[in-house]
Structure 1
């Protein structure tokens, strides 16, 4: 079911970071123009101290299995070893349309070099996390039968067919469960996605190691590494036992990560970067079906990231 998008500019990290990125590029082009007019000495790629870099890219993500705990009035249970995957946007004009920049799985980062090698970086990894439908999972906990009855009175559109064609399936959740039973995750049981998304807002400390520099100082190859962490803001689309909604942006937990990449710099100020990031995310307060209903989970992740950028 498509619900009205209920967000504000303040709580939408995509809007905030896009604004910062836009302002950054304004200063980039202003500084390039000033250099041309002032006749400053040509920039050498190895002279990074005191400079900023801005970069933008896209990712593919993989996740470890996760135990997902659901809790609310009348129920408290856990699905064990749940599989999930990312949801990349198909190749289309959306990747070059500035009005739809937040749709693909993107990466945005700004870095400041305190020396020619050491830098601090902050930014956002916009990942997407989708629990795989149709998988069998073990579960444990308790569900009051009245919860299922109430949910059946106001079912989500996605779950209606399953609830009426297979009424015994969701009824299987009622009562106490010790962890030996297995249930198949169909829309009447669970829909669970962080698709708008799984937003990792991070601060990293990093180091750049030069590998090769052209004689004219205009191009170079380098190795970049960083470690850090920060908060994770989710917009979770959830249906729990047939009831749920597409929730607002919400600070759901935190993450820590390590990043490594190869960088090619060219034409004095531009660069391309291919890297990988691995980390751990702990989501302790996930919004699900309204009110005090919540979920929690933790998992590992790895991203393959391709990005491009510019030095200021």
Structure 2
């Protein structure tokens, strides 16, 4: 818990991402220690570490988002969301100080036998509730909450409040779940874009599919299962009011991973895989104070990564 408290207080994800990247670049040099035994083939994995970095595209199932705070408690049902990949730009993807901007994956793996391993790392996904969709909602919102939020309106919500003042006003009162509302910036902006960070520990196995005669290259199948904490930085606007919150321990996730892997020169490898799982966010920061949200959903990542074996 001390580690997560540190994340929450410092928000220093950029620093640690940079440290991890620099460490990754140094590994080929570290791996040249003359005292380290040289494996005969890529199948000799026991006692070795793998470090890899990659990028992902993610998709999510619909989810019910529950909002609660002084004067309100309501749920938006079957909400759609998508990821937010960074467009390819060499100044971002090839700049070590900006490697945390895209949707990235970092993983450290230790092989305690030639076939079995433990790994830990971070999946940095991004989650954005789609604007323009219509959703049902149920619960209660005090009319004073709606009015109070208009006193701290965000710039992106201001045009909607001015042009369509009755849109947000219909949120006030009791709602049984049959009412439908269109999600526009005056109603809801809800994003985990800095991001939706799954900090995982996995147990897995590697199964050789083909190995070259010289043992220096080959194809393998990776499979693993795991779980971990989810740290979010959530940007939320509710009925016009909100903020981009600090990093915060928000929930947990469980997952399974399958990938094809190509090793070459006993040191380097490429991996293409898919990770699917379930995330339960029980403590999402929203508009400050005691205001919170919660949700759960399934996710699927397509991950491409590369790394080194030492």
Measured against the shorter chain, the TM-score band is: over 0.9
When normalised by structure 2's length, the TM-score is 0.94
Instruction: Kindly indicate whether the alpha-carbon contact (under 8 Å) linking 1:285 and 1:295 is maintained by their aligned counterparts in 2.
Output: yes
**Does the C-alpha gap of structure 1 residues 112 and 40 become closer, same or farther in structure 2, counting only changes over 3 Å?**
closer
Q: How does 1:43-192 map to 2 (within 5 A)?
A: 43-93=40-90, 94-192=92-190
User: Shift in Å at residue 22 of structure 1?
Assistant: 3.1
- Tell me how far 1:18 sits from its aligned partner: 4.1
Q: Give 1:16 deviation, angstroms.
A: 2.9
Q: Deviations over 1:15-38 (max 9, x none)?
A: 335424533543541222x23xx6
After superposing on structure 2, the runs of 4+ consecutive aligned residues of structure 1 that deviate more than 6 Å are none
Separation in 2 of the partners of 1:164 and 1:10?
37
Moved more, 212-221 or 78-87: 212-221
Correspondence for 2:250: 252
Deviation at 1:12, TM superposition (A): 3.3
Tell me, in whole angstroms, the C-alpha distance in 1 between the residues paired with 2:101 and 2:203: 28
Query: Structure 2, unaligned stretches of length 5 or more?
Result: 1-6
In structure 2, relative to structure 1, the CA distance for the partners of 1:22 and 1:43 (3 Å cut) is: farther
Q: How far apart are residue 95 of structure 1 and its match?
A: 1.2
**Which stretches in structure 1 are left out of the alignment for 5+ residues?**
1-6
**Alpha carbons of 1:164 and 1:10: their partners in 2 closer, same or farther (altered >3 Å)?**
closer
SS in 2 for 1:157: coil
Q: Secondary structure at the match of 2:156?
A: helix
Q: Deviations over 1:75-100 (max 9, x none)?
A: 00000000000000011111111110
Q: Deviations over 1:196-226 (max 9, x none)?
A: 0000000000000011111111101100000
Conservation of the 8 A alpha-carbon contact between 1:197 and 1:235: yes
How many aligned residue pairs are there? 303
**Alignment correspondent of 2:282:** 284
What's the TM-score, normalizing by structure 1?
Answer: 0.93
> Secondary structure of 2:31's match?
helix
For the 8 Å contact 1:9–1:15, the answer to whether it is kept is no
CA distance in 1, matches of 2:214, 2:263: 13
Aligned match of 1:204? 202
Confirm or deny: 8 A CA contact 1:106 1:125 kept in the other structure.
yes
Give the root-mean-square deviation of aligned CA atoms: 1.7
